[in-house]
Protein backbone atom coordinates (compact mmCIF):
# COMPACT_ATOMS: atom_id res chain seq x y z
CA UNK A 1 0.00 0.00 0.00
CA UNK A 2 1.25 3.53 -0.73
CA UNK A 3 1.97 5.99 2.03
CA UNK A 4 -0.29 9.02 1.66
CA UNK A 5 -0.83 12.44 3.17
CA UNK A 6 -2.30 15.75 2.10
CA UNK A 7 -2.37 19.32 3.36
CA UNK A 8 -3.45 22.80 2.33
CA UNK A 9 -0.59 25.14 1.35
CA UNK A 10 -0.28 28.79 0.32
CA UNK A 11 -3.94 29.44 1.14
CA UNK A 12 -4.86 27.56 -2.01
CA UNK A 13 -8.28 25.91 -2.21
CA UNK A 14 -6.69 22.74 -3.57
CA UNK A 15 -4.83 20.40 -1.26
CA UNK A 16 -1.30 19.24 -1.96
CA UNK A 17 -1.29 15.45 -2.02
CA UNK A 18 1.74 13.19 -1.70
CA UNK A 19 1.85 9.43 -2.25
CA UNK A 20 4.92 7.21 -1.78
CA UNK A 21 5.24 3.79 -3.48
CA UNK A 22 7.73 0.98 -2.90
CA UNK A 23 6.12 -1.87 -4.86
CA UNK A 24 4.65 -2.19 -8.37
CA UNK A 25 6.32 1.10 -9.26
CA UNK A 26 6.28 0.55 -13.01
CA UNK A 27 2.52 -0.03 -12.83
CA UNK A 28 2.03 3.15 -10.80
CA UNK A 29 3.99 5.19 -13.37
CA UNK A 30 1.84 3.82 -16.17
CA UNK A 31 -1.34 4.65 -14.23
CA UNK A 32 -0.23 8.24 -13.64
CA UNK A 33 0.79 8.73 -17.27
CA UNK A 34 -2.59 7.57 -18.52
CA UNK A 35 -4.33 10.16 -16.31
CA UNK A 36 -2.65 13.02 -18.21
CA UNK A 37 -4.98 15.50 -19.90
CA UNK A 38 -2.63 18.12 -21.41
CA UNK A 39 1.09 17.39 -21.21
CA UNK A 40 3.72 14.93 -20.04
CA UNK A 41 7.34 16.00 -19.54
CA UNK A 42 9.68 13.10 -18.74
CA UNK A 43 13.30 13.46 -17.65
CA UNK A 44 14.74 10.02 -16.87
CA UNK A 45 18.18 8.56 -17.42
CA UNK A 46 17.12 5.22 -18.93
CA UNK A 47 13.88 4.27 -20.66
CA UNK A 48 12.43 0.82 -21.30
CA UNK A 49 11.37 1.83 -24.80
CA UNK A 50 9.53 -1.41 -25.59
CA UNK A 51 7.17 -0.70 -22.69
CA UNK A 52 6.87 3.08 -22.73
CA UNK A 53 6.92 3.97 -26.45
CA UNK A 54 3.42 2.47 -26.95
CA UNK A 55 2.21 4.45 -23.91
CA UNK A 56 3.62 7.64 -25.42
CA UNK A 57 1.77 6.79 -28.64
CA UNK A 58 -1.51 6.40 -26.78
CA UNK A 59 -1.02 9.77 -25.14
CA UNK A 60 -0.07 11.67 -28.28
CA UNK A 61 -3.00 10.14 -30.19
CA UNK A 62 -5.21 11.74 -27.54
CA UNK A 63 -3.64 15.12 -28.33
CA UNK A 64 -1.40 15.19 -25.25
CA UNK A 65 2.02 16.78 -25.65
CA UNK A 66 4.78 14.30 -24.69
CA UNK A 67 8.43 15.34 -24.31
CA UNK A 68 11.16 12.96 -23.15
CA UNK A 69 14.67 13.88 -22.01
CA UNK A 70 16.97 10.87 -21.52
CA UNK A 71 20.66 10.05 -21.25
CA UNK A 72 22.34 9.63 -24.64
CA UNK A 73 24.29 6.42 -24.07
CA UNK A 74 24.85 2.90 -25.34
CA UNK A 75 21.94 1.32 -23.43
CA UNK A 76 19.31 3.76 -24.65
CA UNK A 77 20.60 3.53 -28.21
CA UNK A 78 20.78 -0.28 -28.19
CA UNK A 79 17.23 -0.83 -26.95
CA UNK A 80 15.67 2.24 -28.55
CA UNK A 81 12.19 1.81 -30.01
CA UNK A 82 10.94 5.03 -31.55
CA UNK A 83 7.41 6.15 -30.70
CA UNK A 84 5.26 6.06 -33.82
CA UNK A 85 3.54 9.37 -33.18
CA UNK A 86 4.59 12.90 -32.23
CA UNK A 87 6.61 12.36 -29.05
CA UNK A 88 9.48 14.88 -28.85
CA UNK A 89 12.79 13.30 -27.81
CA UNK A 90 15.89 14.98 -26.32
CA UNK A 91 18.84 12.57 -25.93
CA UNK A 92 21.21 14.50 -23.66
CA UNK A 93 24.95 13.85 -23.57
CA UNK A 94 26.52 15.46 -20.51
CA UNK A 95 30.03 16.92 -20.63
CA UNK A 96 33.11 14.77 -19.94
CA UNK A 97 31.25 11.46 -19.73
CA UNK A 98 28.88 12.51 -16.94
CA UNK A 99 25.28 11.30 -16.85
CA UNK A 100 21.95 13.00 -17.25
CA UNK A 101 20.79 11.14 -14.16
CA UNK A 102 17.47 12.80 -13.31
CA UNK A 103 14.39 10.70 -12.58
CA UNK A 104 11.28 12.85 -12.73
CA UNK A 105 8.14 13.44 -14.72
CA UNK A 106 5.80 16.45 -14.81
CA UNK A 107 2.16 15.76 -15.70
CA UNK A 108 -0.17 18.60 -16.73
CA UNK A 109 2.21 21.09 -15.07
CA UNK A 110 0.64 20.16 -11.75
CA UNK A 111 1.89 16.71 -10.74
CA UNK A 112 5.46 15.56 -10.07
CA UNK A 113 6.59 11.92 -10.22
CA UNK A 114 10.08 11.42 -8.82
CA UNK A 115 12.20 9.05 -6.74
CA UNK A 116 15.02 6.55 -7.13
CA UNK A 117 13.25 4.40 -9.74
CA UNK A 118 14.69 4.41 -13.26
CA UNK A 119 12.23 3.62 -16.05
CA UNK A 120 14.49 0.80 -17.20
CA UNK A 121 14.15 -2.93 -17.80
CA UNK A 122 15.80 -4.03 -14.54
CA UNK A 123 14.60 -1.31 -12.18
CA UNK A 124 11.71 -3.42 -10.88
CA UNK A 125 14.16 -5.95 -9.37
CA UNK A 126 15.68 -3.41 -6.99
CA UNK A 127 14.55 -1.80 -3.77
CA UNK A 128 13.35 1.53 -5.16
CA UNK A 129 10.90 4.29 -4.35
CA UNK A 130 8.52 6.58 -6.18
CA UNK A 131 6.88 9.74 -4.87
CA UNK A 132 3.89 11.41 -6.54
CA UNK A 133 3.19 15.02 -5.50
CA UNK A 134 0.19 16.90 -6.82
CA UNK A 135 -0.70 20.64 -6.69
CA UNK A 136 2.54 21.76 -5.02
CA UNK A 137 3.12 24.46 -7.63
CA UNK A 138 6.29 25.87 -6.07
CA UNK A 139 7.81 22.41 -6.39
CA UNK A 140 6.45 22.05 -9.93
CA UNK A 141 8.10 25.36 -10.82
CA UNK A 142 11.54 24.02 -9.81
CA UNK A 143 11.14 20.91 -11.94
CA UNK A 144 9.79 22.89 -14.92
CA UNK A 145 12.82 25.16 -14.74
CA UNK A 146 15.19 22.20 -14.72
CA UNK A 147 13.34 20.59 -17.61
CA UNK A 148 13.57 23.74 -19.73
CA UNK A 149 17.25 24.20 -18.84
CA UNK A 150 18.01 20.67 -20.03
CA UNK A 151 16.12 21.29 -23.28
CA UNK A 152 18.27 24.38 -23.78
CA UNK A 153 21.36 22.33 -23.02
CA UNK A 154 20.32 19.78 -25.67
CA UNK A 155 19.83 22.46 -28.32
CA UNK A 156 23.06 24.33 -27.55
CA UNK A 157 25.47 21.47 -26.77
CA UNK A 158 26.77 21.00 -30.33
CA UNK A 159 27.20 24.75 -30.78
CA UNK A 160 29.29 25.23 -27.66
CA UNK A 161 32.70 26.76 -28.26
CA UNK A 162 35.14 25.70 -25.56
CA UNK A 163 37.83 28.31 -24.90
CA UNK A 164 41.28 28.31 -23.38
CA UNK A 165 42.37 30.47 -20.49
CA UNK A 166 43.90 33.73 -21.69
CA UNK A 167 46.05 34.38 -18.62
CA UNK A 168 49.81 34.09 -18.46
CA UNK A 169 50.70 31.42 -15.91
CA UNK A 170 54.32 31.06 -14.87
CA UNK A 171 55.16 33.39 -17.78
CA UNK A 172 53.43 31.10 -20.30
CA UNK A 173 49.89 31.19 -21.64
CA UNK A 174 47.77 29.03 -19.37
CA UNK A 175 45.80 27.03 -22.02
CA UNK A 176 43.56 25.41 -19.39
CA UNK A 177 39.81 25.45 -19.98
CA UNK A 178 38.05 28.66 -19.05
CA UNK A 179 34.79 30.56 -19.29
CA UNK A 180 33.79 34.19 -19.80
CA UNK A 181 31.86 35.90 -17.01
CA UNK A 182 29.85 39.08 -17.45
CA UNK A 183 29.54 41.29 -14.36
CA UNK A 184 26.43 43.47 -14.16
CA UNK A 185 27.28 46.47 -11.99
CA UNK A 186 24.97 48.37 -9.67
CA UNK A 187 23.50 51.69 -10.75
CA UNK A 188 24.63 54.98 -9.27
CA UNK A 189 24.58 58.70 -10.00
CA UNK A 190 22.13 61.01 -11.74
CA UNK A 191 21.98 58.88 -14.89
CA UNK A 192 21.93 55.45 -13.17
CA UNK A 193 25.37 54.56 -14.49
CA UNK A 194 26.41 50.87 -14.42
CA UNK A 195 29.88 49.41 -14.88
CA UNK A 196 29.82 46.29 -17.07
CA UNK A 197 32.86 43.99 -17.12
CA UNK A 198 33.74 40.83 -19.04
CA UNK A 199 36.26 38.48 -17.42
CA UNK A 200 37.92 35.33 -18.71
CA UNK A 201 38.18 32.95 -15.72
CA UNK A 202 40.37 29.87 -15.57
CA UNK A 203 38.70 26.62 -14.49
CA UNK A 204 41.96 25.13 -13.22
CA UNK A 205 43.97 27.93 -11.61
CA UNK A 206 43.05 30.95 -9.51
CA UNK A 207 43.44 33.63 -12.13
CA UNK A 208 41.38 35.66 -14.53
CA UNK A 209 41.82 38.23 -17.28
CA UNK A 210 39.76 41.36 -17.80
CA UNK A 211 38.59 41.27 -21.43
CA UNK A 212 36.77 44.57 -21.49
CA UNK A 213 34.56 47.02 -19.65
CA UNK A 214 32.10 49.77 -20.45
CA UNK A 215 29.46 51.93 -18.79
CA UNK A 216 25.75 52.05 -19.54
CA UNK A 217 22.96 54.32 -18.30
CA UNK A 218 19.57 53.16 -17.00
CA UNK A 219 20.43 49.55 -17.82
CA UNK A 220 18.60 48.04 -14.85
CA UNK A 221 15.38 49.80 -15.81
CA UNK A 222 15.80 48.70 -19.42
CA UNK A 223 16.29 45.08 -18.34
CA UNK A 224 13.39 45.19 -15.90
CA UNK A 225 15.62 44.71 -12.85
CA UNK A 226 15.15 47.99 -11.02
CA UNK A 227 11.62 47.66 -9.77
CA UNK A 228 10.94 44.21 -8.47
CA UNK A 229 7.43 43.69 -7.12
CA UNK A 230 7.29 42.43 -3.55
CA UNK A 231 5.94 38.94 -3.18
CA UNK A 232 2.39 39.01 -1.84
CA UNK A 233 2.19 36.48 0.97
CA UNK A 234 -1.61 36.37 0.60
CA UNK A 235 -1.60 35.42 -3.06
CA UNK A 236 -3.11 32.08 -4.05
CA UNK A 237 -0.15 30.43 -5.73
CA UNK A 238 -2.00 28.34 -8.27
CA UNK A 239 -1.00 26.77 -11.58
CA UNK A 240 -1.63 29.90 -13.61
CA UNK A 241 0.43 32.07 -11.26
CA UNK A 242 3.28 29.55 -11.37
CA UNK A 243 3.30 29.28 -15.16
CA UNK A 244 3.24 33.08 -15.51
CA UNK A 245 6.16 33.37 -13.09
CA UNK A 246 8.18 30.74 -14.96
CA UNK A 247 7.61 32.53 -18.27
CA UNK A 248 8.56 35.93 -16.86
CA UNK A 249 11.75 34.64 -15.26
CA UNK A 250 12.90 32.90 -18.44
CA UNK A 251 12.12 35.98 -20.53
CA UNK A 252 14.00 38.26 -18.16
CA UNK A 253 17.04 35.97 -18.06
CA UNK A 254 17.03 35.70 -21.86
CA UNK A 255 16.87 39.49 -22.18
CA UNK A 256 19.87 39.98 -19.86
CA UNK A 257 21.86 37.24 -21.63
CA UNK A 258 21.10 38.61 -25.09
CA UNK A 259 22.01 42.12 -24.00
CA UNK A 260 25.46 40.98 -22.89
CA UNK A 261 26.02 38.82 -25.95
CA UNK A 262 25.01 41.58 -28.36
CA UNK A 263 27.49 44.03 -26.84
CA UNK A 264 30.49 41.75 -26.42
CA UNK A 265 32.88 40.45 -29.04
CA UNK A 266 33.54 37.52 -26.69
CA UNK A 267 31.21 34.56 -26.00
CA UNK A 268 29.45 34.83 -22.64
CA UNK A 269 29.08 31.72 -20.47
CA UNK A 270 27.78 33.22 -17.22
CA UNK A 271 26.42 36.50 -15.84
CA UNK A 272 26.46 37.67 -12.25
CA UNK A 273 26.51 40.65 -9.94
CA UNK A 274 28.30 41.51 -6.71
CA UNK A 275 26.06 41.09 -3.66
CA UNK A 276 26.25 41.25 0.12
CA UNK A 277 26.03 37.64 1.22
CA UNK A 278 25.34 38.09 4.93
CA UNK A 279 23.00 41.09 5.03
CA UNK A 280 20.85 39.74 7.90
CA UNK A 281 23.82 38.71 10.02
CA UNK A 282 25.49 42.06 9.39
CA UNK A 283 22.39 44.01 10.47
CA UNK A 284 21.39 41.84 13.41
CA UNK A 285 24.75 40.70 14.77
CA UNK A 286 27.11 43.30 13.34
CA UNK A 287 29.07 40.65 11.49
CA UNK A 288 31.70 41.91 9.08
CA UNK A 289 30.23 42.28 5.61
CA UNK A 290 30.95 39.43 3.22
CA UNK A 291 30.59 40.01 -0.51
CA UNK A 292 30.57 37.60 -3.41
CA UNK A 293 29.45 37.28 -7.02
CA UNK A 294 25.96 35.83 -7.35
CA UNK A 295 25.60 33.99 -10.66
CA UNK A 296 22.06 34.35 -12.02
CA UNK A 297 22.61 32.82 -15.46
CA UNK A 298 24.99 30.10 -16.67
CA UNK A 299 25.37 28.39 -20.00
CA UNK A 300 24.08 24.87 -19.26
CA UNK A 301 27.28 23.35 -20.66
CA UNK A 302 29.20 25.01 -17.81
CA UNK A 303 26.59 24.68 -15.07
CA UNK A 304 28.37 21.93 -13.14
CA UNK A 305 31.70 23.79 -13.10
CA UNK A 306 30.56 27.38 -12.49
CA UNK A 307 29.30 27.76 -8.91
CA UNK A 308 26.14 29.58 -7.81
CA UNK A 309 28.28 31.99 -5.79
CA UNK A 310 31.91 32.97 -6.38
CA UNK A 311 33.33 33.91 -2.99
CA UNK A 312 35.80 36.68 -2.30
CA UNK A 313 39.37 35.39 -2.54
CA UNK A 314 40.60 38.34 -0.36
CA UNK A 315 43.60 39.09 -2.54
CA UNK A 316 43.16 37.99 -6.15
CA UNK A 317 41.16 39.05 -9.17
CA UNK A 318 37.81 38.11 -7.57
CA UNK A 319 38.54 40.60 -4.82
CA UNK A 320 39.29 43.29 -7.41
CA UNK A 321 35.94 42.61 -9.13
CA UNK A 322 34.11 42.89 -5.81
CA UNK A 323 35.89 46.13 -4.88
CA UNK A 324 34.95 47.64 -8.23
CA UNK A 325 31.26 46.81 -7.81
CA UNK A 326 30.54 47.27 -4.10
**191 dihedral zone (left: phi>0; alpha: psi -120 to 50; beta):** alpha
pLDDT above 90: residue 326: no
Local structure of residue 1 (DSSP, 8 states): -
pLDDT above 90: residue 108: yes
HSE, CB side, 13 Å, CA atoms: give it for residue 33: 26
Residue 94: its pLDDT value, please? Answer: 79
- Cβ-contact 174, 194 below 8 angstroms: no
Give percent above pLDDT 90 in the chain. 56
Residue 1: its pLDDT value, please? Answer: 47
> How sure is the predictor about 302, in pLDDT bands with cuts at 50, 70 and 90?
confident
- Cβ-contact 105, 118 below 8 angstroms: no
**Which stretch of 102-106, 194-198, 233-237, 279-283 has the lowest confidence by average pLDDT?**
233-237
pLDDT above 90: residue 236: no
Q: Which residues contact 263 (CB under 8 A, 6 or more apart)?
A: 196, 214
Q: Where are the alpha helices (DSSP H) in the chain?
A: 25-34, 49-61, 74-78, 137-156, 219-222, 239-262, 279-285, 317-325
HSE, CB side, 13 Å, CA atoms: give it for residue 280: 0
Q: Identify the residue with better confidence: 109 or 159.
A: 109
Residue 159: its pLDDT value, please? Answer: 61
pLDDT above 90: residue 4: no
pLDDT above 50: residue 78: yes
C-alpha to C-alpha distances, 46 to 74, 75, 162, 163, 185, nearest whole angstrom: 10, 8, 28, 32, 43
Q: Identify the residue with better confidence: 197 or 167.
A: 197
pLDDT above 70: residue 150: yes
Highest mean pLDDT of the ranges 35-39, 159-163, 279-283: 35-39
Mean pLDDT of the chain: 88
Mean pLDDT of 248-257: 89
Of 300, 305, 312, 306, nearest in space to 274 by CA: 312
Q: Domains for the chain: give ranges and CATH numbers.
A: 3-159 (3.30.870.10), 163-325 (no CATH)
HEC string of 216-257?
Answer: EECHHHHCCCCCCCCCCCCCCCCHHHHHHHHHHHHHHHHHHH
- Name the phi and psi angles at 13, rounded to 5: -80, -15
> How sure is the predictor about 93, in pLDDT bands with cuts at 50, 70 and 90?
confident
Global pTM reads 0.83
> How sure is the predictor about 42, in pLDDT bands with cuts at 50, 70 and 90?
very high
CA–CA dist 143, 114 (Å, integer): 10
> How sure is the predictor about 221, in pLDDT bands with cuts at 50, 70 and 90?
confident
Classify 129 as helix, strand or coil.
Answer: coil
pLDDT above 90: residue 237: no
Q: Identify the residue with better confidence: 95 or 304.
A: 304
Q: Which residues contact 136 (CB under 8 A, 6 or more apart)?
A: 9, 16, 18, 112
Of 36, 9, 243, 54, nearest in space to 147 by CA: 243
List, in sequence order, every residue forming a beta bridge with 70; answer none if it has no partner.
91
Amino acid sequence: MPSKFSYISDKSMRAITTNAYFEDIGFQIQQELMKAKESVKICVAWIRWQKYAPIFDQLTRRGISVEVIYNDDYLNRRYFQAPLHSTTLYPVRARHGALMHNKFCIIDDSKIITGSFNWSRNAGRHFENLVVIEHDFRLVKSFLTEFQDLKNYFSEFAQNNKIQCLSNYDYNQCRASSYNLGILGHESGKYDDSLIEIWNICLTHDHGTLLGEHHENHLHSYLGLKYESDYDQDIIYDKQTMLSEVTQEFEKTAQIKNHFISRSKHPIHAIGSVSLLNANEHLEWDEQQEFGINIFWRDMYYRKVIPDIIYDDDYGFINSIIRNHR
